[in-house]
Amino acid sequence: MDLFKKSGTELSFMLRSKECSAREIVSSIYSRIDSVEEKLGSYVTLTRNMADKKADIVDKKIASGEIISPLAGIPVGVKDNILVKDVRNTCSSKMLENFVAPYNSTVVEKMLDQDCLIIGKLNMDEFAMGSSTETSYFKDTKNPHNLDCVPGGSSGGSASSVAGYQATVSLGSDTGGSVRQPASYCGIVGLKPTYSSVSRYGLVSFASSLDQIGPMGRTVKDVHLLYSAISGYDKKDRTTVDISNIPTDISELKNLSGIKVGIPSEYYLTDKNTDVIKSIESFIKFLEKSGAEIKQVSLPNTKYSIPVYYILSSAEASSNLARFDGVKYGYRASDYTNFQDMYKKTRTEGFGEEVKTRIMLGTYVLSSGYYDAYYNRAQSMKKMMKQDFDRVFEECDIIVTPTTTTTAFNLGEKINAHMDMYTSDISTAAANITGIPAISIPSGRDSKGLPIGVQIMGKHFSEKLLFDVANFYEKSIDGFDLKIKI
Amino acid sequence: MIENYDIVIGLEIHAELSTKTKIYCGCKNEFGLEVNTVCCPICLGMPGALPSLNKTVVDYAIKMGYALNCSINSVSKQDRKNYYYPDLPKAYQITQDEVPLCYDGHVDISVDGIQKRIGVTRIHIEEDAGKLIHDDSFSGTLVDFNRCGVPLIEIVSEPDMRSSKEAKSYLETIKVILSYMGISDCKMQEGSLRCDVNVSVMKKGSTEYGTRCEMKNISTFSGAVKGIEYEARRQVDILESGGTIIQQTRRWDDDKGKNFLLREKKNADDYRYFREPDIGKIVVTEEKLLDIKTSIPELPNKKVLRYIKDFKLSEKESTLIVESVERSFLFESVLNIGDVNPKLVSNWILGDILGYLNEKSILLDETKITPQKLFDLINCIESNIISTSSGKIVLIDIFETEKTVDQIILERSLKQNSDIDDLKSVVINILKANEKSVIDYNNGKTNALGFVIGQCMKETKGKGNPAVLKELVLKLIKKD
Amino acid sequence: MKFDLENIANLSMLYPDGFDRDKILKKMESIIKMVEVLPGVDIKNSDNISGNEVILREDIIEPSLSRDEVLKNAPSVQGGCILVSKVID
């Protein structure tokens, strides 16, 4: 029985009906990891002991007739910037190569309360800065659909592990598209929740005002299940809000009548003949056929998302990553003459080039004399972008765009062509800047057989509608095309 | 030379707040614990940890704001001040930059009996840093993070002070107000009250401020006085020898009585302030503000005036009592117990009680005195149960034991003898034995009287009621 | 525009070497170039403070970490403290 191939909802049902045990699920997942990890490189650290212990607890609960929670016994992979107590947390950086988490992040605490099986910590771009997982200090991660291609990033390991059946669901983090873009490249589902709906306590901060932890899975229902488990007010992250009154359960829609879909012209300026645009257009046609009302809308300030994203995220990152100084934890350089020298050597040696570039960019935009020209201007633009979206959401319920304008590229192809790399967040960053939820689901493949993703955005806290529409589509096509070559 | 200059002084006072927990986490806010035992992921700046702002910190800061006649920003925010130092775990301090909780206030100080109003620019909340321990017994510096995240308010004054005396008075005034509010321990020796001083000088009659220098690390009142005088002299010396003042940050060394250059202000001080994204806006409702306003106790300057008016104390006496919360509490509590002359209470507190405390160098609340015991003591003296000199003996026991005044008087048999027949026979015997004094007295040498009364007191071993004895002596000494 | 790479690196507590300076400068300049297309929007510093209101924490003591936990990840420890090279200010 290939338990690793099952979805979370299937496994949960099998556990309850005693068709399998949690121990069997663990064994199946790790034997899958054993056979493909060398090729995929999804994981930085495996936590088999922890998963085994949890599986025993689940099996005991089932044996004693106890009601288990929806995620009990489900294998979850966790991005290596989300703290799991007593497990190494590297952020894929030399700086934290040997850092052992002293506490659990809130999302992990919540998952453990539900008796999830934490399988391991997933590879990522260093400190979540990158779009291909190539900035990881440890290794490259490969796209399960084509081992020559990147899985996307920064949550590359989170996407490749799920697409490659090394985890049933996973957690990523999304600052400018880091959940949705890899989900799109790897042909799975990824959600960037509304800012403030999921606690960031225990997520190593990149850009505090943009970061959100997001669930990833092979089905909409699995992503929904994980989202329901991790979201909600947390007194340890006081930027979260109480959403207990907002319904999130998926409704099985019969059609999409009454749903107004905005198509923003600004996102379709690229060559209209690409496989991606064709795929999105057929998705829009599907929505229309199903009864949705399609409207052309305009988000004029969207074109500024990339500069705004880079200013805000780099500025916050320069401050958030200042604590990595070799004093309290993490890497410390070995030869130095005084404490400033120790700081500088530690940081120069401990951080990779991408991270250093962004720290310096952030320092620059905050430094005296430049603050107004860059940081303050970006803050004002952020307000204007919010107004754009507010206006569009007065006449639409959801907005549909491609998640990425292209499909997964080859390893090494773009790491040096920095501009391409930096603009690959173009469709996704606006949701982080404005704080709205956005989901990426597979909508087809390009001529090379690589997955294409469609992004559905909604108003603040409208996750339920995004799930409903995505789930309706998934069911209508009899499930996503999840075939991989390994 | 210095007489030709005006000194211009502004103060930034940092006061640690006496909340139960730290500003952003639930760690205990307590001084003097073992190193690195009151720390958690939040105050240690561990990756992923986030701040949770303590409600009481906001309340205390606003309370101080009202005490210093400030306006309150009902919506404010927190900002990050970015700099690297081993005692600052996040490499940024969470503070308030553009929008402080309180702004635009003032406080009245008094120097040599003259009142002066000092402007208060702002009060904001922020976190304290850890402590560096330097010792020659090892090669490096040790870091203790216990103090990280201890809540601070920073009180920034206008450059309104013109002498070290005024600065000292301002510091003392702020300290007393903090004490009355009960929001800070104000223990300078523990570092819970510290200040940075900005000093500049300008030629007398000039209206243009000179270039200022900031002096850090002042932790005693006398240090503030010496530091300001040293810095003013340094600046005047430079100007008089034809030099110019360069804006600097200097460090006061109390032991050496000198200050030293820390750094010159240029871009070294680029703190890259920006809004703290982990803390939402701080909103204080009208209702809350009113609550805080009404919770403010009588302020010390009002108290001084009331003591003068209601209790007929001198300004000096009332100031001396009010400058200590414990003294003032003892004073008012004694008066609240029953009918007692306020002047007598004040005399006892400022006389023998203060004398005892100074001699032992302890604080009032480190003794066993209670308002009730002091009330009883004064009463016993007033109603002639014991003599004033016995009272002083009783006071020592009041300080050092749990015994009641009655018990002490009984155990030490200090009860005064006022029995007329008893004392009459004593007086008759003494007069008989001192015939010469009797003759002297009757010849007009009235100072003989004192000697006779003294002899009577000696005979009664100090227990004879001196007033009764005096009356008897006067009656019996006269020769018809 | 020109970067003062030395100053920016210094403020960032980094040495401006050990990497390809030209590459990093080009990277930063290309990002800054993108930024410069931002329209000159009206900037008022403290007009209104945006975002949600913070829910303040009650002043109640919670357990701290043990000292062992505090020092577990420290590169160098002595006498219950973290050891750094001599700090002279």
CATH number of the CATH domain containing A108 = 3.90.1300.10
Shared domain for B242 and B363, answered yes or no, is no
Q: How confident is the model at residue A415 (pLDDT cuts 50, 70, 90)?
A: low
Instruction: Among B388, B411, B434, give the residue marking a domain's end.
Output: B411
From chain C, which residues contact B within 8 Å (Cβ)?
7, 11, 13, 45-46, 48-67, 70-71, 76, 78-87, 89
Shared domain for B102 and B31, answered yes or no, is yes
Could you give the CA distance from residue A338 to residue C86 in angstroms, rounded to a whole number? 7
Q: Is A211 on the interface with B (CB under 8 A)?
A: no
Shared domain for B223 and B343, answered yes or no, is no
Residue B437 inside a domain? The answer is yes
Catalytic residue among A7, A154, A184, A205: A154
Shared domain for B121 and B19, answered yes or no, is yes
Contacts of B468 (CB under 8 A, 6+ apart): B418, B420, B423
Neighbours of A434 (CB within 10 A): 23
- Which tokens hold the place of A336? 């130095």
Active site residue A154: yes
Residue C10 inside a domain? The answer is yes
CATH number at residue B448: 1.10.10.410
Where in the sequence is the domain holding B124, given as residue range(s)?
2-291
Shared domain for B224 and B343, answered yes or no, is no
CB C54 within 8 A of CB B282: yes
Q: Do C12 and A359 touch (CB under 8 A)?
A: yes
Where in the sequence is the domain holding A52, given as residue range(s)?
3-256
* β-strands A75-79, A117-122 pairing: parallel
Could you give the CA distance from residue A195 to residue A183 in angstroms, rounded to a whole number? 19
Q: Is the pLDDT at A164 greater than 80, yes or no? A: yes
Residue A447: predicted pLDDT:
96
Residue C42 inside a domain? The answer is no
Q: Do A376 and C18 touch (CB under 8 A)?
A: no
- Which tokens hold the place of B299? 């302020």
Interface predicted TM-score (ipTM) of this complex, two decimals: 0.96
Mean pLDDT of the A326-347 span: 94
Residue B31 inside a domain? The answer is yes
Q: Is the pLDDT at A359 greater than 60, yes or no? A: yes
Count of A–B CB contacts within 8 Å? 98
Residue B266: predicted pLDDT:
60
Instruction: Among B291, B314, B339, give the residue marking a domain's end.
Output: B291
Shared domain for B397 and B427, answered yes or no, is no
- Which pTM does this prediction carry? 0.92
Give how many domains chain A has, as a whole number: 1
Residue A422: predicted pLDDT:
61
Residue B365: predicted pLDDT:
87
Residue C13 inside a domain? The answer is yes
Residue C46 inside a domain? The answer is no
- Nearest-Cα distance to chain A for B62, in Å, is 22
Shared domain for B266 and B396, answered yes or no, is no
Residue A375 inside a domain? The answer is no
Residue B470 inside a domain? The answer is yes
Could you give the CA distance from residue A144 to residue A422 in angstroms, rounded to a whole number? 24
Residue A212 inside a domain? The answer is yes
Residue of A nearest to C83 (CA): A327
Residue A371 inside a domain? The answer is no
CB B23 within 8 A of CB B149: yes
Chains touching chain A, criterion 3+ CB pairs below 8 Å? B, C
Catalytic residue among A61, A79, A121, A414: A79
Which chain A residues are within 8 Å of C26, Cβ to Cβ? 418
Q: Is the pLDDT at B267 greater than 60, yes or no? A: no
Q: Is A203 on the interface with B (CB under 8 A)?
A: yes
10 Å CB burial of residue B371 (0-12, 13-18, 19+) is middle
Residue B416 inside a domain? The answer is no
Shared domain for B189 and B279, answered yes or no, is yes
Residue of C nearest to B284 (CA): C53
Residue A195 inside a domain? The answer is yes
Which chain A residues are within 8 Å of B89, Cβ to Cβ? 323, 327-328
Mean pLDDT of the A348-364 span: 94
Could you give the CA distance from residue A335 to residue A10 in angstroms, rounded to a whole number? 55
Q: Do A348 and C18 touch (CB under 8 A)?
A: yes
Which chain C residues are within 8 Å of B55, Cβ to Cβ? 56-59
Which chain C residues are within 8 Å of A426, Cβ to Cβ? none
Q: For residue A129, what is the DSSP state?
A: -
- Which tokens hold the place of B272? 């890259």
Shared domain for B134 and B271, answered yes or no, is yes
Residue C56 inside a domain? The answer is no
Could you give the CA distance from residue A237 to residue A259 in angstroms, rounded to a whole number? 34
Q: Is the pLDDT at A147 greater than 80, yes or no? A: yes
Could you give the CA distance from residue A180 to residue A469 in angstroms, rounded to a whole number? 17
Q: Closest CB to B39: pick one of C56, C70, C79.
A: C70
Residue A36 inside a domain? The answer is yes
Which chain B residues are within 8 Å of C63, Cβ to Cβ? 26
Residue B240 inside a domain? The answer is yes
3-state secondary structure of A177: coil
- Nearest-Cα distance to chain B for C38, in Å, is 20
Q: Do B37 and C49 touch (CB under 8 A)?
A: no
Residue B138 inside a domain? The answer is yes
Shared domain for B453 and B322, answered yes or no, is no
Give how many domains chain C has, as a whole number: 1
Q: Do C43 and A344 touch (CB under 8 A)?
A: no
Shared domain for B205 and B272, answered yes or no, is yes
Instruction: Among B291, B309, B339, give the residue marking a domain's end.
Output: B291
Could you give the CA distance from residue A100 to residue A122 in angstroms, rounded to a whole number? 15
* β-strands C77-78, A398-402 pairing: unpaired
Instruction: Name residues 264-303 of chain A within 8 A of B (Cβ).
Output: none
pLDDT tens-digit map of A4-23: 999 999 999 999 999 999 99
Residue A463 inside a domain? The answer is no
Give how many domains chain B has, as a whole number: 3
CB A173 within 8 A of CB A202: no
Q: Do C73 and A364 touch (CB under 8 A)?
A: no
pLDDT tens-digit map of B406-421: 999 988 888 888 888 8
Residue C17 inside a domain? The answer is yes
pLDDT tens-digit map of B175-207: 999 999 999 999 888 889 999 999 999 999 888
pLDDT tens-digit map of A206-265: 999 999 999 999 999 999 999 999 999 999 999 999 999 999 899 999 999 999 999 998
Residue C26 inside a domain? The answer is yes
- Nearest-Cα distance to chain B for C22, in Å, is 25
Q: Do C84 and A238 touch (CB under 8 A)?
A: no
Residue A386 inside a domain? The answer is no
Contacts of A341 (CB under 8 A, 6+ apart): none
Active site residue A334: no
pLDDT tens-digit map of B348-358: 999 999 999 99
Which value, in Å, is the radius of gyration of the alpha carbons in chain B?
30
Residue C40 inside a domain? The answer is no
Where in the sequence is the domain holding C24, given as residue range(s)?
5-35
pLDDT tens-digit map of B249-261: 999 998 899 999 9
* β-strands A169-174, A75-79 pairing: parallel
